[in-house]
A and B are shown apart, each in its own frame.
Chain A
Amino acid sequence: MLELPWGQKGSMKLSKAAGSRTTVVSAFALLAIGAGVPLQAQVSLTGAGATFPAPIYQKWFSDYQSIGNAQINYQPNGSGGGIKAVTEGVTDFGASDMPLTDEQLSAYQSKHGFKVLLFPTVLGAVVPTYNLPSVKQPLNFTPAALAGIFMGTITKWNDPAIAGANKGVSLPNLDINVAHRSDASGTTFVFTDYLSKVSPEWVQKVGKANTSVQWPAGIGGKGNDGVSGIVKQQEGAIGYVELIYAVKNKLAYGNVQNSSNEFVTASLSSVTAAAAGAAKSIPDDFRVSITNAPGKGAYPISTFTWLLIPSKIPDNAKKTALVGFVKWAITKGQDEVEALDYAKLPSSVVTKETKAVSLIR
């Protein structure tokens, strides 16, 4: 009698395999059907960009889902990522803490044939955050100290450059471990913008402000989250993050000396003070830098943050949703920003923006 190698067992296995195959196939089928059917008739939008305003944006988009009947998916991958994504047209909008340069604007224009518009949404602060459990009160940082630390020339916490501004505080003899951004970051832009304004050495050694610079020292973290994570884990570490990241992760952050020689703590009022001067004379495209702003009580590392929206949106539903969102964010949405330690937009800016939004066709 002919005995096949796979024999009876083979055919049993065959039917068992077929049975399990059927189950697998039907499970996949259910998954496919379930996943393919839209739950509601909501407009879906995608945006990517800065991690600086990510906490408030995520809250806004979450709230706006019911208000504007639009599902706006925001992926914080850094300002550089936002600029690239909107320029290549793979997202509906972007977000950046660095106002686009002329070259980036013209690159967009030549690629798409129309302009990309910038809309400021909130004001925020970049703070130097550090991990020194033995130091109980906030440290004061002079511009020279900050520049020196991030250039790698000041390597110990008890260096006279730091101690000089912090009389009476006992600083430990720890190594300073610098944390900076590994991704192209608007937060980096703001911080380096400030450093290049206050330290000629910085400009010479590192270069002008940009989303990515050649850091002489330290390690890179991804996003504001990444830098906060590094500082939180490592004693003696220092990094620069948006204020809310230091606050919600319970990290200490220092006071920075402003152009009026005061040591200012980042707060709603000090950030608002920094924007006060610029608010009256903000240009039509809203591109402005408010670092090292003059005036009493102004926090020197403050910034606007912008949404990058194409001036032409062919899909009507998307355009309505996005325009509606911007209008809501700069008015009603502003009520939510202070709870997350961002400062409200000056009213003169809001007025100007409301007019600018209607430019989107």
Chain B
Amino acid sequence: MTDRAHIATHRKIINVLMLSLSGLCTLLVLSVLFFILGYLLVHGVKSLNWNFFTKLPKPSGETGGGMANAIVGSGKILLLATCIGVPIGALTGVFLAEYSGKQFAFLIRYTADLLNGVPSIVIGIFAYSVVVIPMKHFSAWAGGLALGIMMIPISVRTTEEFLLAVPNSMREGAMALGATKARTIFTVVIPAAAAGLLSGLMLNLARVAGETAPLLFTALGNMFWSHGWHEPTASLPVMIYNYAISPADDLHQQAWAAGFVLLSLVLFINVTARLVIQRGAGASRR
């Protein structure tokens, strides 16, 4: 019989030591997260004021400017990105899940992963050559295309994953009732996967909302409101970058505030999306 008291003391000590160390590491990692959140909270909220949300950036040296156009600009660019990237990606995912054969599916998945691995700055270069130069100006279109391309791979993967998670019994049930394959997919399978698809979309959006590099030479920036979609457009991440590397304290404050707004948005979307996925996964396990 194994008598625990007879296990050599040094092994016991090592056991406790190593396990505590690993616990400590975890706490360290978590504390970094809390530090980031806390610091941004304190500094960001301090600088949040009505000006930030309503005013345009002021010429350097003058205080009291804000990021109103950057907030709207980010919204515009993200809207374009979603409209470009999500349909292409989602329908590719539908094809993968419902129609394609094994070989082709492998190729598509590999290509999507390849696209996912492209450094975002390289996508920016692509969008510059393909949109900015022919159009002869920087624009929200270019920025939207760059971010849209970044949204495609994740859209493909999450759509495929959540569609495959819908049990075949639903498809068979619908077909038994006389629905065509297309009708099954679009009126039965997709709605069944809706929660997951939406969460996937939200996670995708949150990831792309914080991207700066591709916007540097596509949407550029704007001191004023950008009218329509053809003009250079200010965006939150680019403003944060520009203000952070400037020496003016006022601009630093604005960078903190913008960082706080951006992070809150991104984390809020993330938490919501993940909770929905987890609840959905939990429900299906029962």
In the A-B complex, the 10 residue pairs with the closest CB atoms: A58-B59, A229-B247, A38-B227, A225-B246, A228-B247, A17-B194, A59-B59, A249-B247, A35-B76, A73-B222
Tell whether, in the assembled complex, residue B245 and residue A90 are in contact, meaning their CB atoms are under 8 Å apart: no
Within 8 A of B (CB), among A74-96: 74-75, 88-91
Tell whether, in the assembled complex, residue A75 and residue B220 are in contact, meaning their CB atoms are under 8 Å apart: yes
| Cα A61 to Cα B56 with chains together (Å) | 13
Besides A65-B224, A229-B247, 12 other A-B contacts (C-beta < 8 A): A9-B283, A18-B194, A31-B72, A36-B227, A39-B225, A48-B220, A62-B223, A73-B232, A90-B137, A223-B245, A229-B245, A248-B61
Tell whether, in the assembled complex, residue A90 and residue B167 are in contact, meaning their CB atoms are under 8 Å apart: no
Interface of A is mostly: helix
**8 residue pairs bridging A and B, Cβ less than 8 Å apart:** A10-B283, A34-B72, A35-B226, A54-B60, A58-B60, A73-B221, A75-B232, A248-B60
Residue of B nearest to A81 (CB): B217
| Cα A73 to Cα B227 with chains together (Å) | 12
- Could you give, for residues 228-248 of chain B, a 1 whenever the CB lies within 8 Å of some chain A CB and a 0 otherwise? 110110000000000001111
Within 8 A of B (CB), among A166-182: none
| Cα A225 to Cα B250 with chains together (Å) | 13
B247 in complex: contacting residue of A14, A21, A225, CB < 8 Å? A225
> Which A residues are CB-close (under 8 A) to B191?
14
Asked whether any CB of chain A lies closer than 8 Å to the CB of B75, the reply is yes
> Which B residues are CB-close (under 8 A) to A221?
245
Within 8 A of A (CB), among B112-157: 132-133, 136-138
A5 in complex: contacting residue of B72, B136, B220, B284, CB < 8 Å? B284
A36 in complex: contacting residue of B61, B132, B170, B229, CB < 8 Å? B229
- Could you give, for residues 33-58 of chain B, a 1 whenever the CB lies within 8 Å of some chain A CB and a 0 otherwise? 00000000000000000000000001
Given known A73-B222, A91-B137, contact A31–B76 (CB-CB < 8 A) = yes
Inter-chain residue pair count (beta carbon < 8 A): 121
Within 8 A of B (CB), among A19-75: 20-21, 28, 31-32, 34-39, 44, 46, 48, 54-55, 58-59, 61-62, 65, 71, 73-75
Instruction: Name the distance in Å between A75's Cβ and chain B's nearest Cβ.
Output: 5
> Which B residues are CB-close (under 8 A) to A21?
194, 198
Given known A232-B247, A249-B247, contact A36–B138 (CB-CB < 8 A) = no
> Which A residues are CB-close (under 8 A) to B225?
39
Tell whether, in the assembled complex, residue B79 and residue A28 are in contact, meaning their CB atoms are under 8 Å apart: yes
Chain B contributes a number of interface residues (CB within 8 A of A) equal to: 43
Asked whether any CB of chain B lies closer than 8 Å to the CB of A296, the reply is no
> Which A residues are CB-close (under 8 A) to B261?
none
Tell whether, in the assembled complex, residue A58 and residue B223 are in contact, meaning their CB atoms are under 8 Å apart: yes
Tell whether, in the assembled complex, residue B228 and residue A249 are in contact, meaning their CB atoms are under 8 Å apart: no
Asked whether any CB of chain A lies closer than 8 Å to the CB of B195, the reply is yes
- Could you give, for residues 186-201 of chain B, a 1 whenever the CB lies within 8 Å of some chain A CB and a 0 otherwise? 0000011011001000
Tell whether, in the assembled complex, residue A44 and residue B247 are in contact, meaning their CB atoms are under 8 Å apart: no
> Which B residues are CB-close (under 8 A) to A46?
137-138, 220, 231-232
Residue of A nearest to B245 (CB): A226
- Could you give, for residues 66-92 of chain B, a 1 whenever the CB lies within 8 Å of some chain A CB and a 0 otherwise? 000000100110010010000000000
A10 in complex: contacting residue of B72, B137, B192, CB < 8 Å? B192
Tell whether, in the assembled complex, residue A6 and residue B247 are in contact, meaning their CB atoms are under 8 Å apart: no
Tell whether, in the assembled complex, residue A17 and residue B247 are in contact, meaning their CB atoms are under 8 Å apart: no
Tell whether, in the assembled complex, residue B61 and residue A35 are in contact, meaning their CB atoms are under 8 Å apart: no
> Which A residues are CB-close (under 8 A) to B223?
58, 61-62, 73-74
Instruction: Name the distance in Å between A180's Cβ and chain B's nearest Cβ.
Output: 15
Tell whether, in the assembled complex, residue B59 and residue A90 are in contact, meaning their CB atoms are under 8 Å apart: no
Asked whether any CB of chain B lies closer than 8 Å to the CB of A1, the reply is no
- Could you give, for residues 207-229 of chain B, a 1 whenever the CB lies within 8 Å of some chain A CB and a 0 otherwise? 00000000000001111111111
Tell whether, in the assembled complex, residue A55 and residue B60 are in contact, meaning their CB atoms are under 8 Å apart: yes
